Amino acid sequence: MAFTPKKQAFNAKINAVTLGTGDKSIVIGGQNVLPFYTFDAPIANKPKIAIEISDKGLEGIVSPGLLEFYAGCETPVHMAKKAETMEGASAICLHFESADPNAENTSVADCVALAKAVADAVEMPILVMGCKNIEKDAELFNAISDALQGKNILVLSAREENYKNVGASAGLAYNQKVGAESAVDINLAKQLNVLLSQLGVPAQSVCMNVGSSAAGYGFEYLSSTLDRVKAAALAQNDAQLQMPIVTPVSPETWGVKESMSPEEESPEWGPLDERGIEMEVCTASACLVGGSDMVIMKHPAAVATIAKFIDSLM
């Protein structure tokens, strides 16, 4: 007697969110099965990879592979155009690190000028990450959302402290997509989604960032949160947790000691570039099997590896 596996497709599904415009636009989410459970039901939109580009350009990068890939790129605009050629890339994530008032404190006007230049130079969808300063990010996201009207960008992220400002400007006034960022807790993630909904931001305009962590640095908390969010969204049909998940992997993985310590100081750890790539691949793959619909990465070798990983499971 032949074995007939029992399929588990859910009546509920993750919202499908479109980013970008034209031929290069992408859709994340839309599935009604657990991550990569293609044996239960087809998954129309495979997980995507966005490439992080810092507004600092190559400043602070220690990876030989990254420096080689971007050789000759004099500005973040040049880097963004080169990033579009990466195998597996689907979007560009512009990270405004220098806007931090406690660091370079780059003006909002200068950040907007860079965002417009990148938007004019690339065809892929654009994600925007701020500097983690609540007030500065709210001002920055408002201005960039205005300047890039019609580009259908994703702004990362609205947080509990500034969701009214970011949601009202990016999500309502300028019709951009909004990332809801919470701190590795399913209840906080749901609460923020509820608040954005009450503000009037459509559920189809919201993505979630439920937290991020490098593998080995408290990642088990992120892993359990990803699992719980997907289970609640699908098995319990919780509409306030059915937004697709976007996870910034590269800002975490390339900032830990394993990815930054010089080889002469830690020869037992092996080549510097290999360590960083392995950390990024391990973290990104774990996020994807946990439920991330898009991961933000940096190194071309890591991106190519994760792209093949995704394709092999689809």
pLDDT at 201: 95
pLDDT at 1: 67
CA–CA distance, 100 with 181 (Å, rounded to integer)? 18
213-217 LR contacts (CB < 8 Å, sep 24+)? 213/184, 213/252, 213/283, 214/252, 214/253, 214/255, 214/256, 214/279, 214/283, 215/253, 215/279, 215/282, 215/283, 215/286, 216/256, 216/258, 217/252, 217/256
Q: Report which DSSP code applies to 148.
A: T
* pLDDT tens column, 101-149: 998 999 999 999 999 999 999 999 999 999 999 999 999 999 999 999 9
Tokens at 137, concatenated: 């990010």
Strand order in the sheet with 48-54: 206-209, 177-181, 154-158, 126-129, 91-95, 48-54, 294-297, 246-248
Is residue 178 within 8 Å of 206, Cβ to Cβ?
yes
Q: Judge residue 264's burial from the number of C-beta atoms within 10 Å of its C-beta, 0-12 exposed, 13-18 middle, 19 or more buried.
A: exposed
Instruction: Note down pLDDT in tens along the chain; length 314 residues.
Output: 677 778 888 999 999 999 999 999 999 999 999 999 999 999 999 999 999 999 999 998 889 999 999 999 999 999 999 999 999 999 999 999 999 999 899 999 999 999 999 999 999 999 999 999 999 999 999 999 999 999 999 999 899 999 999 999 999 999 999 999 999 999 999 999 999 999 999 999 999 999 999 998 989 999 999 999 999 999 999 999 999 999 999 999 999 999 888 888 888 998 889 999 999 999 999 999 999 999 999 999 999 999 999 999 98
CA–CA distance, 167 with 161 (Å, rounded to integer)? 11
pLDDT at 77: 97
Parallel, antiparallel or unpaired: strands 126-129 and 91-95: parallel
CA–CA distance, 174 with 75 (Å, rounded to integer)? 28
Question: Which has the closest alpha carbon to 52: 18, 103, 110, 91?
Answer: 91
Write out the E strands in 58-140: 91-95, 126-129
pLDDT at 11: 92
CA–CA distance, 148 with 119 (Å, rounded to integer)? 8
3-10 LR contacts (CB < 8 Å, sep 24+)? 5/39, 7/39, 7/40, 7/41, 8/33, 8/34, 8/37, 8/40, 9/33, 9/40, 9/41, 10/234, 10/235, 10/237
* pLDDT tens column, 186-220: 999 999 999 999 999 999 999 999 999 999 898 99
